[in-house]
Structure 1
């Protein structure tokens, strides 16, 4: 699947796109594109996902929302105001209304007419590109809604490769109710690697945790790992911090929209 531009995954891209940097890290690190390659294309759109594939990301993170007619679409905010030419809550708009919006011009006029993608479009791209889906849930989904989302994932043959992520532990507990086998990761956020986050991850079971670089204190990382919890890096960090987290702390997963896979 082609991007709008002819891109070559080399360090020259760091000069061509000032918001993009390639850290030097050891092989085997899983780089996940946060809302796609949001430094080079409008976030949570097919062009951003396509760029992420071309740039060598192994996973693509996106945000799942439901329309008023119960269709899954991908957009970060609860409203369409920030990244489209429309206004209103996603939950109060139909799929047809959502798809009629321009989700690209705010980023650059060359992306005029870019649409908010459907869940099926995203899963199809991930499958055809052998890229892992990382699906953030917020603010709240019912078990029935998650069962439907998981059914769509199964239809695309992506259930073993997909990870649900959330800052609110209740969403991941509901994923567990919907399907105990799904991969899940808790976002620590401002709580850091606290005892509360640890307890939630243990109770959810087989649950990873994503944390910010400044919260990767050695004793806390060791405590989480001693409980069988893998720690990932939630970036918008510097390249040096990513390199330290991977090469010295041993983080295996980096979620970022500004750095390319090495």
Structure 2
């Protein structure tokens, strides 16, 4: 079907949860995401399992037992394995899938509510897993932090109140029950064209506002709302690791020569150069993730030593064009996440083949950061079987920033950080609707649009209400009910497309107003 300009790409993905095998007959010929739980796997007959495995849908199977895993994987073909996802809280099951069936996607099921972001990130990096299934309460707390590490977050969206929260949190996929109307409500939310907040990566700080890769540039990036601070590592003549992009100093100084031919103190006389040690200590306690690009293969070991010195494995992510550098990182410390930088431009000196990309993703379990082009979606689809979040680089112009943001990309590596503050990222309620003494509903006309730098602006909004399987607009004539699940929406245009941000849920009760989370 041809897309119209106002159509929004599906950002949050529905995963239909089968609770009875008989339900398979209604969806077995459809290309969709189908999930069967571990309890269902235990009781399913071989005939019904074969029926499920033969369906064209993407099959997501929850398995906690090694025997169950072997029994299922032994019954499918190599082609079917490419459309199979194994979900498990059992790390041994997930390791076995990787060791024997690398074409299967793996999802870690964090069943407990007690996971911290640090523990979860380190475990996922060690397992080389890029997708996690979280309980809704945990997903609300951790999704944005996990997105900074290019991790994909799934959760359970069967209950409509939780579904609203998960949409607000930008969860990537939700399980939906076939036995109730959660799918219909899910589709109603898609019609709102909710703008996803990508991960904003400050490329060398704020290079359009200050000298790149310097502390003032990074501090400005933080002020404008950067989620990740990106930098590059070079080694000086006296073996000091510094933040510097080019192999020579000509572009940003008045002198010439290779970085490796200067002592650290000599470089400091030319510009405010920053050592990696200083960078790590300065932002050790900040909420921003530090994305470090390896420029020289021989520096990997020293970079990892410094990260370990400050116990920042969960606060640092490594990227490189060089597959061997990423393999070295993984061999030295598996708790540190890695990303492969990729350009499909045939004239790029860093270009590698698709076969090498696939081999690197398999060997290092890295994410994939892709060069920005008009056809980057086509490039990303070439590696879609890995189910990865990709950060797009490098965004230098305001127009390009808004184009990619409006399309719902996972992350943006940007030079023009100053333009983030023109588009709202969430909505904050000023006043909630309430019934007056005459029984009429008084609906506020404005709420606060909130921006990455912490600023707020009053904007016109409309209020919506969850009703069974629909979202309907609140008006003064809305009937008084025992309880109304309501939220407000601010609609605007970005890159010529209709988009919106939504507030948290507010529960309006007959006797008093109760603000929801």
TM-score with structure 2 setting the length: 0.40
Which ranges of 4 or more aligned residues in structure 1 deviate by more than 6 Å? none
Which residue is 1:214 aligned to? 374
Cα distance in 2 between the residues matched to 1:141 and 1:198: 18
Specify every segment of 5 or more residues in structure 1 that has no aligned partner in the other structure, as ranges.
Answer: 1-24, 104-114
Cα distance in 1 between the residues matched to 2:363 and 2:396: 28
Answer yes or no: is 1:51 the counterpart of 2:212.
no
Aligned residues: 221
Structure 1 residues 160, 128: CA separation in 2 closer, same or farther (over 3 Å shift)? closer
Specify every segment of 5 or more residues in structure 2 that has no aligned partner in the other structure, as ranges.
Answer: 1-193, 422-517
How much does 1:149 deviate?
1.0
Structure 1 residues 244, 196: CA separation in 2 closer, same or farther (over 3 Å shift)? farther
How much does 1:122 deviate?
1.3
CA deviations 1:39-79 (Å, max 9, x no partner) are: 10011111111101111101111110111111101111111
Specify which of 168, 178, 191 is matched with residue 332 of structure 2: 178
Query: Does the Cα contact within 8 Å between 1:146 and 1:178 map onto a contact in 2?
Result: no
Which residue is 1:124 aligned to? 281
How much does 1:126 deviate?
2.2
Query: Does the Cα contact within 8 Å between 2:234 and 2:241 map onto a contact in 1?
Result: yes
Alignment of 1:26-105 (within 5 A): 26-101=195-270, 103=271
TM-score with structure 1 setting the length: 0.75
Cα distance in 2 between the residues matched to 1:193 and 1:97: 36
Cα distance in 1 between the residues matched to 2:335 and 2:353: 26
Query: Does the Cα contact within 8 Å between 1:201 and 1:208 map onto a contact in 2?
Result: no
Cα distance in 1 between the residues matched to 2:207 and 2:195: 24
Structure 1 residues 67-76 or 169-178, which shifts more?
169-178
Query: Does the Cα contact within 8 Å between 1:132 and 1:162 map onto a contact in 2?
Result: yes
Cα distance in 1 between the residues matched to 2:352 and 2:369: 9
Query: Does the Cα contact within 8 Å between 1:32 and 1:253 map onto a contact in 2?
Result: yes
Structure 1 residues 44-53 or 151-160, which shifts more?
151-160
Structure 1 residues 85, 244: CA separation in 2 closer, same or farther (over 3 Å shift)? closer
Cα distance in 2 between the residues matched to 1:207 and 1:215: 22
Alignment of 1:159-238 (within 5 A): 159-189=313-343, 190=345, 195-196=354-355, 198-211=357-370, 212-218=372-378, 220-236=379-395, 238=397
Structure 1 residues 81-90 or 181-190, which shifts more?
81-90
Cα distance in 2 between the residues matched to 1:254 and 1:77: 21
Structure 1 residues 216, 100: CA separation in 2 closer, same or farther (over 3 Å shift)? same
Normalized per residue, the structure richer in strand is: 2
Specify which of 285, 296, 307 is matched with residue 153 of structure 1: 307
SS at match of 1:235: strand
Cα distance in 1 between the residues matched to 2:237 and 2:245: 16
SS at match of 1:127: coil
Give me the CA root mean square deviation.
Answer: 2.5
**CA radius of gyration, larger in:** 2
Specify which of 297, 300, 308 is matched with residue 141 of structure 1: 297
Query: Does the Cα contact within 8 Å between 2:235 and 2:260 map onto a contact in 1?
Result: yes
RCO greater where, 1 or 2, for CA within 8 Å and sep 6 or more? Answer: 1
How much does 1:157 deviate?
3.2
Cα distance in 1 between the residues matched to 2:279 and 2:313: 14
SS at match of 1:213: coil
How much does 1:130 deviate?
2.1
CA deviations 1:126-146 (Å, max 9, x no partner) are: 2243211111111x323xx32
Structure 1 residues 193, 31: CA separation in 2 closer, same or farther (over 3 Å shift)? farther
Query: Does the Cα contact within 8 Å between 1:53 and 1:129 map onto a contact in 2?
Result: no
Structure 1 residues 230-239 or 76-85, which shifts more?
230-239
CA deviations 1:8-65 (Å, max 9, x no partner) are: xxxxxxxxxxxxxxxxx93542101111100100111111111011111011111101
Structure 1 residues 200, 215: CA separation in 2 closer, same or farther (over 3 Å shift)? farther
